[in-house]
């Protein structure tokens, strides 16, 4: 369990709103492979713990530990890539409301992780329409 500050813990304990019907899926875009500790993961852990203490179901992945193809289609293996784990990752997070994506921390460095978010607008799950069962 991630340690929160006294103030964060107090605010979680005083919260009266029921968030138990919400879920969140985080995509960590750190450059460090797991299980190496990253600053990005540290920041995400705090946000995830606050959500958990408020009843939100939380899950996530570290993008660099997966073979995510670059592109705009939901499954890039249909467009020439040999491997693409994004469809399975998307299914894992399907139905979860997007939460802040953590960018790579580091000044002056190019982002080395292939970010999956450009595909989001093309995926039918990311619409303003209510979800149908």
CB-CB neighbours of 15 under 10 Å: 13
Q: Say whether pLDDT at 28 is over 70.
A: yes
pLDDT of residue 92: 85
Q: What pLDDT does 104 receive? A: 44
Give the integer Cα–Cα distance in Å for 52 and 43. Answer: 15
pLDDT > 60? residue 131: no
Confidence at residue 97, expressed as pLDDT on a 0 to 100 scale: 46
Nearest to 54 by CA among 100, 90, 95, 4: 4
Give helix 6-14 / helix 39-53 axis angle, nearest 10°.
30
Q: What is the pLDDT of residues 37-80, one digit of tens each?
A: 899 999 999 999 999 999 999 999 999 999 999 988 889 999 99
pTM: 0.68
Quick: pLDDT tens for 98-109.
Answer: 444 444 444 444
**Residue reference for tokens 């994004």:** 86
């Amino acid at each position: 369990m991630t340690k929160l500050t006294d103030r964060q813990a107090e605010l979680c304990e005083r919260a009266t709103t029921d968030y138990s019907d919400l879920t969140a899926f985080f995509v960590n875009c750190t450059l460090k492979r797991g299980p190496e500790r990253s600053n990005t993961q540290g920041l995400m852990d705090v946000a995830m713990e606050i959500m958990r203490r408020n009843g939100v179901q939380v899950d996530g992945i570290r993008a660099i530990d997966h073979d995510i193809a670059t592109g705009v289609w939901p499954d890039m293996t249909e467009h020439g890539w040999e491997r693409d784990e994004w469809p399975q990752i998307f299914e894992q997070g399907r139905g979860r409301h997007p939460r802040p994506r953590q960018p790579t921390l580091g000044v002056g460095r190019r982002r080395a992780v292939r970010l999956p978010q450009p595909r989001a607008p093309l995926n039918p799950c990311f619409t303003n329409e209510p979800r149908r069962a």
